[in-house]
Each structure stands twice: as C-alpha cells, then as structure tokens.
Amino acid sequence: MSEPPAVVVDGLVMRYGDKVAVDGLSLTVEAHTITAVLGPNGAGKTTTLETCEGYRKPQQGSVRVLGLDPVRERRALLPRIGVMLQSGGAWGGVRAVEMLRHVSRLHAHPVDVDLLVDRLGLGDCGRTAYRRLSGGQQQRLGLAMAIVGRPELVFVDEPTAGLDPAVRRTVWELLEELRTDGVTVVLTTHYMDEAERLADRVHILDKGTLVASGSPLELTRGGSVATIRLVVTEPFPPGSPDSLAVSLGPGTEVTQLDAVSLLVTGPADASTLAKVSRWCEDNGVLPESLTLGQRNLEDVFLELTASAAPAVETELTP
Amino acid sequence: MSTFTPAPGAAPVVRQVLTQASMETRLMLRNGEQLLLAVVIPVIVLIGGVRGAERVDLSYGVAEFAPGVLALAVMSTSFTALAIATGFERRYGVIKRLGTSPLSRTGLLCGKVLALLAVEVLQVVVIGAVALALGWEPSVSVVGGLLTVVLGTSAFASLGLFVAGALRAEATLAAANLVYLLLMAGGAVVLPASAYGSFGDVVTWLPSGALGEAMRSALGSADIAWRDLLVLAGWTAVGATLTARTFTWE
C-alpha cells in the first residue's frame, strides 16, 4: 500500500529580517507514521511546523500537507489536522474540560470528551481554570485539543516537555495508539529517548537544514557501532580529534563534543579502547572518565549538531 | 472504528458560531471586572446622575440619563470589554489556537459579535429596569433603538479590535480603560451634546457622541437619528479597515 506522503516540504526558506531560520529545507513525512523532527534550539523546527500549519507563508520553496497548500487551501486543510502548540492556547478563566468540549464542538465527529479526559488523567482538574493548571496539565490539555477532532495528521510540539515520567509514558502510549488507529503524527522533541522509542522516522535539523534522516535504527547503525566517550580534566590541545583519529586508524570517527569531551565511534573492541588509552598517555592527557556504550540517537544528534559548540569554546579561550 | 480513527470534519458553521458565542458570553459574565464595567458602573452612573441632578437642580433627569447610560453600557461592552478580552486572547495564544480549528476568522468575529449582543441584552434589561424604577417614561422607536445598538456596537467593536490587535495586552488594558473614561466624561455619551456648549458640535462626530445622541433620539423622542447613525457607520468603516490592516494573531 503506497499512499502519498502526509507532508512534503520542498526547498523551504524562511527568514526573519537578516536571520535565516530555515535554509532550503526539504523533507517528507510518510502517512501513518510517527515522525520526529529533532534539532537544537533555533534549528528551525517550530518555524517549519508553523509553515505546515499555515501560520506562515513560505518565502521560498513549497509546503504541501495532505496534498494541500496550507495557506491557499487553509479552510479545506484545517479540519483534517490537529495542532498542539508549545504553550498557551486557552482563555485564562476557562475550565479545562470546558475548553476541550468547546474545541470538540467545532468538529463534526469529535472523540468522546470524557474518554479523552480519562485517558489523559485530566479528570482531577476538569473544573480548574486554565491559568491555575500546572504546566503538565496544560500540556496534556493541549494534546487533547489537538486530537479531539479526529484529525488525519497531528503536529505536536514538544508534547512531553516538563511532564513527570509516569505521565510521559501515558502520552507515549497515546501517540502510539494514534498511529495504530491510522493517524500520522509529527512531533518535535528535545528528548532523544522519546524519539528513539516512538519515531518510525527521524529528521535531524541544524541551522535550518536537514542534516540526517532515517529510522532510529538506521541512524544508530543498528547498535552494531560502539561509542567511547572520553572526558578529560583539562581542555584538549588543538588538533586532538585529528591526532586521535590517526592513531585509531580507519573505520573510526572522532567528534569533539565540547572542550573536554570527545566521542569516538567505531568497532566495539578492546583494541580501540587500548588505543584511546595509549593516545592519552602519549599526549599527556588525563582522562576523567572513559565510557563505553552503544551508539544511541543522542550520540548521533550530538555528532551532527555539535559543530557550533567547540567554535564557541575557542572564542572563549583564544 | 477505533478510538482515534480519523474522521475529520468541521461542525456546521451555525453550530460553530453559536458555540463560540456562548463560550465568550459565559467568560465575560464570569469575569468580575467585566461585570463591573458592563452593569455595576452604568447602574451607579444612572442612579448617581439622576439623584445628583435632582439635588443640584440640573436641567437633566432620568429622561436624558437613561438612554445616555444605555449608550455608555454599549460602549463599555463593545469597546472596552472586547478590546481587553481580545488583547489577552492574543497574549495567551487563544486566537492562534482557534486559527487551526475549523472556526474561520469570520466565524470567530460573528461569535464575538453575538456574545456582545447577548451581554448587551442583559445590560438593557438591568439598566432599563432600574431606569423605570427611577420613573423613566421612554418614548421608543424600536427600529431606531435596534439600529443604534447594532451600529454603535459595530463601530466600537471594530475600534476595540484595532486597539487589541495593535498593542500589547497590558497597553490595551490601559488604553481601553483610559479611552472609556475620557469618552464617559467628555464624549457626550451620558450627557447630551448640548451640555458641552460650543464643543457639542465636535463631540457629535465622535462615535461616543453619535451613539449617545442616536440613543436619546430612539428612546426619548421615538426618532431615528439618521445623521448620527451614519457617523457610527463611518466609524465602523474606519475601525474595520484599520483592524483588517493591522490585526495579527500573536
């Protein structure tokens, strides 16, 4: 069964004044998947999402959501998508369930409000005014408002930011159930474990462009690759990543994460570990910790987006 | 069908508008400050005005104050209350949120106008009852009264939305209250334009003066004040144009 993609972003450019927020971004979201859009702050995630939601008009390039132009065909698109904003979105004086019921009445075939309230554990605060809800309760209400209209596609912006672990799990299960029931989910998140657990596909953004995409398994190369995280007591001397890479030989990669930590990616064997130790000895570097692990999504993310961090460090220590 | 199987669709437009209107009406009536502005202050002005005028032997009585205070009530709801509410809706992302719901911009506007009219009905009932108790004997043009309320509401609402769309929420709060106080004192709402001497000719060109004069004609002498209604229509056009050009959802 091959369905057209739910979202196609093609060569999108968005600027705020002189600042380029999105720089020629192209990506697709396949229907009936959970797709995570990751990236450091300022990578252009929210701008991209808001362009898909029709809030902003593409300055260059094009965006198609469910085959429609989100700006020109907004009225046709809106009932078919659900949007969870990062914050806010309700009157201060409105009661939680009252707000959800209000949004549900704008739709033709809404999900039963009581069921949703129950599923997201909003029953206890149902009569509480929105401004008196906790951050986590506001988040869950925001998610409920996004899905109450039975959309085909939902955009959720950091759905579990600030939630306690038990509630996070509830939200994850709900998002997985949405996928099972045929809803396409696009989520942005700062939590790599969230993306790794939920996402069928991950797009990593940095400085407004796509730097990697694939399934979590593809991105981490199926866990067959090991990582060694080396943290030292004093900043590395200049050229350390290259010098270490030479000592290790082919098949390994060295990425500087910050002034005092390096990430080595390569075959998981004792010889690599020994070579790293020897390099430390030869270069008079004192390791504070040497951690061996499987390469996870967080490592991939840091490798791809860490380039800015050492540059800042060198500015600070001329 | 499973719980979340997609079944997208917008509710019928009429249901959407009524839902929005009933929500906004409830929120307005639930808010203490709004209620103060909508009912309590006008009633105090009415009673204070009538009793005070008797004491200092002013030439005005309940015949002038009752329509004047009704005009003030329309102004407070459609301008001050609407501007403040909308300002905070922008601040808290309500307009942005509703922007991705099936409710269209026109639907949102219709909902707001219906909510204003609902609150105004309540104001007319309460203020009218107090005025009658104070011995008011109105001579009513129903068409004139309805036109006055509708055009007064549209003029002030369009100006209120302009203020809410152009300023930050706190600035809107301050500006909307300040303009309300200035117009109450010097805008020929409560007192007839003739009370302002030579300045009276100027104030009838203000939306407040036109609203006050039209209301006094409609409820005092059963007349339709076409000239004042036309002024209100003009202000509606000005406010609507400014709002359409400047309003943003954030």
Name the token pair of B37. Answer: 């502005």
Query: Residue A45: which CATH number?
Result: 3.40.50.300
Distance CA A270, CA A230 (A): 15
Residues A77 and A226 in one domain: no
Q: Does residue A1 belong to any structural domain of this protein? A: no
Q: Does residue A193 belong to any structural domain of this protein? A: yes
Distance CA B44, CA B65 (A): 11
Residues A44 and A159 in one domain: yes
Out of A101-110, A213-222, B119-128, B151-160, least confident range: A213-222
Question: What number of C-beta contacts closer than 8 Å exist between A and B?
Answer: 117
Output the pTM of the full model: 0.83
Distance CA B184, CA B175 (A): 14
Number of domains in chain B: 1
Report the residue from B11, B20, B23 with minimal CB separation from A107: B11
Distance CA A297, CA B200 (A): 74
Distance CA A303, CA A192 (A): 13
Dihedral Cα A139, A143, A145, A149, nearest 10 deg: 180
Q: Does residue B22 belong to any structural domain of this protein? A: yes
Q: What is the DSSP letter of A93?
A: T
pLDDT averaged over every residue in chain A? 88
Q: Does residue B7 belong to any structural domain of this protein? A: no
> pLDDT above 70 covers what percent of chain A?
94
Q: Does residue A117 belong to any structural domain of this protein? A: yes
Residues A57 and A152 in one domain: yes
Number of domains in chain A: 2
pLDDT digits (tens, 9 = 90+) for A66-85: 999 999 999 999 999 999 98
Summarize the confidence of residues B182-200 as an average pLDDT: 88
Which chain B residue has its CA at the smallest distance from A92's CA?
A: B92
Q: Does residue B2 belong to any structural domain of this protein? A: no
Q: Does residue A174 belong to any structural domain of this protein? A: yes
Q: What is the DSSP letter of A213?
A: E
Report the residue from B23, B88, B99 with minimal CB separation from A102: B23
Distance CA A116, CA A144 (A): 7
Residues A201 and A237 in one domain: no
Q: Cβ of A31 under 8 Å from any chain B Cβ?
A: no
Residue B113 has a pLDDT of 93
Chain B partners within 8 Å of A106 (Cβ): 10-11, 16, 19-20, 101-103
Chain A partners within 8 Å of B10 (Cβ): 78-79, 106-108
Range of the domain at A234: 221-316
Range of the domain at B85: 13-244
Q: Does residue B4 belong to any structural domain of this protein? A: no
Residues A255 and A108 in one domain: no
Out of A19-23, A56-60, B32-36, B173-177, least confident range: B32-36
Residues A76 and A198 in one domain: yes
Q: Does residue B8 belong to any structural domain of this protein? A: no
Q: Which three-class secondary structure state does DSSP give residue A302? A: helix
Report the residue from B8, B16, B23 with minimal CB separation from A150: B8
Residues A39 and A152 in one domain: yes
Chain A partners within 8 Å of B97 (Cβ): 83, 85, 88-90, 145
ipTM of the complex: 0.89
Q: Of chain A residues 77-136, which have a CB less than 8 A from chain B? A: 78-83, 85, 87-94, 98, 102-103, 105-109, 111, 115
Residues A138 and A36 in one domain: yes
Query: Residue A254: which CATH number?
Result: 3.30.70.1560
Interchain pair A181, B102: CB under 8 A: no
Q: Point out the domain boundary residue: A216, A236, A259.
A: A216
Greatest mean pLDDT among A160-174, A283-297, B51-65: A160-174
Residues A207 and A302 in one domain: no
Q: Does residue A296 belong to any structural domain of this protein? A: yes
Which chain B residue has its CA at the smallest distance from A178's CA?
A: B4
Residues A257 and A273 in one domain: yes
Q: Does residue A73 belong to any structural domain of this protein? A: yes
Q: Does residue A2 belong to any structural domain of this protein? A: no
Distance CA B20, CA A106 (A): 9
Distance CA B209, CA B91 (A): 32
Interchain pair A150, B6: CB under 8 A: yes
Out of A230-234, B147-151, B180-184, least confident range: A230-234
Residue A87 has a pLDDT of 83
Residue matched to tokens 């959309």: A151
Residues A75 and A202 in one domain: yes
| Substitution target from A68, A107, A138, A179 for chain B, most B beta carbons within 10 A | A107
Which chain B residue has its CA at the smallest distance from A53's CA?
A: B100
Q: Does residue B5 belong to any structural domain of this protein? A: no
Strands (E), chain A: 7-16, 19-29, 34-38, 60-65, 81-84, 153-157, 184-188, 201-206, 209-214, 226-232, 253-258, 261-266, 287-294
Summarize the confidence of residues A13-30 as an average pLDDT: 94
Tell me how close the Cα of A3 comes to any Cα of chain B, in angstroms: 15
Chain B partners within 8 Å of A81 (Cβ): 8, 100
Report the residue from A53, A105, A111 with minimal CB separation from B4: A111
Q: Does residue B38 belong to any structural domain of this protein? A: yes
Amino acid at B68: G
Q: Does residue A45 belong to any structural domain of this protein? A: yes
Name the token pair of A38. Answer: 């990751």
Q: Does residue B166 belong to any structural domain of this protein? A: yes
Q: Cβ of A4 under 8 Å from any chain B Cβ?
A: no
Residues A112 and A145 in one domain: yes
Q: Point out the domain boundary residue: A216, A231, A250.
A: A216
Which residues lie below 8 Å from residue A114, measured CB to CB, with a gap of 6+? none
H or E, element range at A142:
helix A135-147
Chain A partners within 8 Å of B2 (Cβ): 177, 180-181
Report the residue from A78, A92, A105 with minimal CB separation from B88: A92
Q: Point out the domain boundary residue: A163, A185, A216.
A: A216
Report the residue from A81, A90, A150 with minimal CB separation from B92: A90
**What are the distances in angstroms from CA A255 to CA A220, A228, A300?**
15, 11, 10
> pLDDT above 70 covers what percent of chain B?
99
